[in-house]
């Protein structure tokens, strides 16, 4: 995926999130979005809205000839959980989304 696509994705997401949320590139084509004080239902709705927004963008505006899709893995922080465990659960959910056909958001198993 090209840099322009990644930059456009990041800018689009930043317009959709709150000032208290934190978006960071997490290597390659992965991003992590931290949403404090957000329950699973709210987080899922926002991630799905982001997915729909990116999917509706004309490929040309993203600097590519191919359509872009977003697959997301959602994990809520559990009390006492280490950051690595949270990321691992989100990553597993992401790969379940990809295995299920991509362009979807999947919540981590509790």
CATH 3.30.70.270 domain position(s) in the chain:
1-69
**Residue 70 buriedness (CB in 10 A; 0-12 / 13-18 / 19+):** buried
pLDDT of residue 71: 96
Q: Is the pTM of this model over 0.95?
A: no
For residue range 6-17, what is the model confidence (pLDDT) as tens digits?
A: 898 999 999 999
**Residue 17 buriedness (CB in 10 A; 0-12 / 13-18 / 19+):** middle
Q: At the topology level of CATH, where does 1-69 sit?
A: Alpha-Beta Plaits (3.30.70)
Q: So which residues are the catalytic ones?
A: 29
């Amino acid at each position: 995926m090209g840099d322009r696509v990644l930059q456009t994705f990041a800018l689009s997401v930043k317009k959709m999130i709150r000032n208290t949320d934190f978006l960071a590139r997490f290597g390659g084509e992965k991003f992590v979005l931290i949403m404090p004080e957000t329950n699973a239902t709210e987080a899922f709705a926002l991630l799905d809205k982001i997915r729909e927004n990116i999917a509706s963008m004309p490929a040309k505006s993203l600097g590519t000839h191919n359509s872009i899709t977003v697959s997301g893995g959602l994990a809520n922080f559990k009390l006492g959980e280490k950051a690595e465990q949270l990321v691992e659960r989100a990553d597993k959910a992401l790969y379940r989304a990809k295995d299920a056909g991509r362009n979807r958001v999947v919540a981590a198993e509790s």
